Structure 1
Amino acid sequence: MQSSTPRIASIDILRGIVMIIMALDHTRDFFHNTAMTADPLDVDTTTPWLFFTRWITHYCAPTFVFLSGMSAYLASQRKTPAEASTFLLKRGLWLIIAELVIVTLGLTFNPLYNVFILQVIWAIGFSMVILGLLMRTSFKVILITGLILFFGHNILDYFNLPGNFWKLFFTSFGTVIPIGGNRFIFAFYAVLPWTSAMLLGYCAGYYFKSNISAETRRRFLLMAGSAAILLFIVLRAINRYGNPTPWEAQQNGFDTLLEFIDVSKYPPSLDFHCMTLGPALLALAALEQVKGRWQEIARVYGSVPFFYYVLHFYLLHLLLVAAFFLSGYTTKDIVDPNIPFLFRPANFGYPLPVVYLLWIAVVAVLYKPCKWFWEYRKTHNQWWLKYI
């Protein structure tokens, strides 16, 4: 039976673009020779190419979370408020479980689950739970909550917040939470700053309703995107609020520019969200009027994001295992006590051009499976397809 769920092409295309770019960062994590020993954004030690390789992927997670909020709004228009709320609650809980069980295994290849990793799927899942609860109130409450979290969460930078609760929901980066025995939770994504992007994405979804003209939607996207970029520039220039640490002038203008655009992703700061979501909104406006073969290719990946996300981790890690043994490592090297990924010694890896070639190959290999699954979803309507 054919699915009756319509999709907005520009949303899927933009989501597909950021999903493709996202795979570059994960390929770098697994295969670049300094990924585990150096910070690619450290102006003192990086190269412009390496800096850009890491920095461009900053646009992926916030755009994806924001578009998830948009999609939630559009899906809610075909349900009663109670049905929409219940679905988001169930899907959010499912994503949290999937992060702990499916994605963690793809990242670590550790069947004993000594480490659970909380990243973007966890943040999206928990944000969906929050959004599902807020949908039982009103659109206005969702908007106000999103604005307060979005613009106000960096106030907490001025306070010393003890305990894992605050770290898990506001300030975490690499927070390690022991859960008994030899098992730990690594929390890389603080939930509520990401929730703000989802809530505002949900509210922006209003402009994609069928009764809103394309010109009105385009005007909103251009104004909102331009305002976010301008706010980023102003806040960075003032250098007092919007990022946990201020930037400092470097020895030359180019390094100063790199320092200026190096903003906190863990947790995502107001500067980070403005820097990334501003251009994303402009891109969303532009993609409604641009047509071509590459947009159709990107749309395939963007239409099955969770399917692609899970598959790309498993494919990358399988390639890592092969490269590990081909590089002369043996079973005694599988576990590095300082790295949560098995088969990934700290000093293993290749130069950046090899990373790019592997990235392109992985994305290309996943195209046909993603297209098959997209076609399958369009022609089938089983309940579980809504969760993948």
Structure 2
Amino acid sequence: MENKNAPQRILSIDLLKGLVMVIMALDHTRDYFHYSAFYFDPTDPTKSTLPIFFTRFITHFCAPAFSFLAGLSACLVGRRKSKSELSSFLVKRGLWLVFIELTIVNFAWYFDLSFRNPSLIVIWSLGISMIVLAALIHLPKKIILVFSILVIFGHNLLDTTHFTGNVLWAILHEYAIFNISETHHLNVYYPIIPWIAVMSLGYYFGSFYDKSYDILKRKKVFNRIGISALLLFVFIRFINRYGDPIPWKDYGTISKDLISFLNPSKYPPSLLYLLMTLSGTILFLANSEKLKGKVVDFFSTFGRVPFFYYIIHIYVIHLFALLFAQLTGFGWKIMILPTWVSEVTALKGYGFPLSVVYAVWIGIILLLYPICKKFDNYKQSHKEKWWLSYL
């Protein structure tokens, strides 16, 4: 029986989570299917095109939005739990996510039973951030806000600090690949700074969804914050002095300049990267609360089962890639990956035009929708099952 006293879901959050999940799948589909992915970085102004770049660019918003929303959701969950209960939940869920990243998710990316490339990617980042948040929630929310802002705005001061070969430093703040042996490598793609601050900032923003907070006031505040963050991104990026380890360059053409300007660093996410992406997240939340209809319901379905969707979408994409490799003469075994897919030199020549990538992406989303819908219905009708909160 449904608990009438349970807090109502905020549909705009489910909608944004769903949009993020669907858009994220586009980038992963591009990784495994786009011909050019095996020749150059889609964000390289000297080699990319605007269609290729913006296919990658739109997915920049995914990881920051999901980390932010995870923190916001933790705040909402905290309405029906004590601080100690919420801390315990965040620690257990965080450890679970780290475990899943290093096992089920890593296998999905590589299909490699030897696990030659254990990779710390977005699920790891969410897990560690939850563990840190478990401690932060015991502080006053204003202190959490100050912590979040200081880390997000100040962490680029560490860009010139390097400890070559130091795994701990890489885990904290530096993208790095370490040789475990001649055949095995540890890939630190998502250092925990500043991701922990993105989640804690989201936790603070959960306060704006208190029942006593006026909806119209929330919309105004979010719009002001979002527009201010976007303008600040443009201003700091234009000055080219701080906020990103790689300044943008003037290449003499509008398309190349635009690619350079809109490509702040993601590994780790720079101040400019977060200003650019989180401004979009906050503006969307400001202006989507009253959206309804079949399209909203479609995307919200994915948003209500994001972790379940995340895992199965990687497996489906990789399985389709294995099939396409077989059908195009490369053989399915080439998709048992010894390293990240775009770095496999034997795959040069494999792949398809961007139009095919979009077609495959849409097909995968349509395939996954009824699966996610069925699981969502199961979750909604079995809320008493504690283990569902971990999926």
Instruction: State the TM bucket, normalised to the shorter chain.
Output: over 0.9
In the alignment, is the contact (CA less than 8 A) between 2:36 and 2:351 conserved in 1? yes
For each residue in 1:126-178, what CA deviation from the matched residue of structure 2 results, as whole angstroms up to 9, or x when unmatched? 00000001123332332222111111001112333442222221121xx2234
Cα displacement (A) at 1:334: 4.9
Report the equivalent of 1:247. Answer: 248
In the alignment, is the contact (CA less than 8 A) between 1:66 and 1:198 conserved in 2? yes
Residue 385 of structure 2 is aligned to residue 382 of structure 1: yes
Cα displacement (A) at 1:337: 4.9
SS at match of 2:153: helix
Residue 147 of structure 2 is aligned to residue 149 of structure 1: no
Distance across 1 between alignment mates of 2:256 and 2:103 = 41
Report the equivalent of 2:50. Answer: 48
Spell out the pairing of 1:25-40 with structure 2 (5 A cutoff): 25-40=27-42
Q: 1:23 to 1:335 in 2, by over 3 A?
A: closer
In the alignment, is the contact (CA less than 8 A) between 1:114 and 1:183 conserved in 2? yes
Spell out the pairing of 1:295-314 with structure 2 (5 A cutoff): 295-314=296-315
Gaps in structure 2 of 5+ consecutive residues: none
Cα displacement (A) at 1:229: 0.3
Distance across 2 between alignment mates of 1:344 and 1:145 = 46
Report the equivalent of 2:171. Answer: 168
Alpha carbon RMSD of aligned pairs, Å? Answer: 1.9
Report the equivalent of 1:328. Answer: 329
Report the equivalent of 1:21. Answer: 23
Report the equivalent of 2:113. Answer: 111
Spell out the pairing of 1:64-213 with structure 2 (5 A cutoff): 64-162=66-164, 163-172=166-175, 175-179=176-180, 182-213=183-214
The AA in structure 2 aligned to 1:379 is: S
User: Which 10-residue stretch deviates more, 361-370 or 325-334?
Assistant: 325-334
Distance across 2 between alignment mates of 1:254 and 1:288 = 35
The normalised TM-score by structure 1 is 0.95
In the alignment, is the contact (CA less than 8 A) between 1:336 and 1:346 conserved in 2? no
SS at match of 2:248: coil
The AA in structure 2 aligned to 1:168 is: I
Q: 1:265 to 1:125 in 2, by over 3 A?
A: same
Cα displacement (A) at 1:266: 1.1
Cα displacement (A) at 1:302: 0.7
The AA in structure 2 aligned to 1:116 is: P
In the alignment, is the contact (CA less than 8 A) between 1:324 and 1:343 conserved in 2? no
The AA in structure 1 aligned to 2:318 is: H
Distance across 1 between alignment mates of 2:372 and 2:332 = 33
SS at match of 1:115: coil
Distance across 2 between alignment mates of 1:21 and 1:215 = 28
For each residue in 1:204-234, what CA deviation from the matched residue of structure 2 results, as whole angstroms up to 9, or x when unmatched? 1100111211012112211110111011011
Q: 1:383 to 1:161 in 2, by over 3 A?
A: same
In the alignment, is the contact (CA less than 8 A) between 1:127 and 1:192 conserved in 2? no
SS at match of 2:159: helix
The normalised TM-score by structure 2 is 0.94
Q: 1:338 to 1:378 in 2, by over 3 A?
A: closer
Percent identity between the aligned chains?
40
Cα displacement (A) at 1:344: 7.9
Report the equivalent of 2:216. Answer: 215
Cα displacement (A) at 1:339: 4.2
Gaps in structure 1 of 5+ consecutive residues: none
Distance across 2 between alignment mates of 1:339 and 1:118 = 12
In the alignment, is the contact (CA less than 8 A) between 2:32 and 2:341 conserved in 1? no
Distance across 1 between alignment mates of 2:150 and 2:305 = 31
In the alignment, is the contact (CA less than 8 A) between 1:336 and 1:345 conserved in 2? no
In the alignment, is the contact (CA less than 8 A) between 1:321 and 1:343 conserved in 2? no
In the alignment, is the contact (CA less than 8 A) between 1:225 and 1:277 conserved in 2? yes
Distance across 2 between alignment mates of 1:284 and 1:49 = 27
Residue 316 of structure 2 is aligned to residue 315 of structure 1: yes
In the alignment, is the contact (CA less than 8 A) between 1:143 and 1:199 conserved in 2? yes
For each residue in 1:86-116, what CA deviation from the matched residue of structure 2 results, as whole angstroms up to 9, or x when unmatched? 1001101100001111111111111222221
User: Which 10-residue stretch deviates more, 135-144 or 308-317?
Assistant: 135-144
Distance across 2 between alignment mates of 1:295 and 1:287 = 10
Distance across 2 between alignment mates of 1:160 and 1:186 = 17
Report the equivalent of 1:257. Answer: 258
Q: 1:251 to 1:127 in 2, by over 3 A?
A: same
SS at match of 1:59: helix
The AA in structure 2 aligned to 1:358 is: V
The AA in structure 2 aligned to 1:213 is: D
Q: 1:82 to 1:2 in 2, by over 3 A?
A: same
Cα displacement (A) at 1:183: 2.9
Residue 219 of structure 2 is aligned to residue 225 of structure 1: no
Q: 1:80 to 1:55 in 2, by over 3 A?
A: same
Cα displacement (A) at 1:307: 0.5
Number of equivalenced pairs: 386
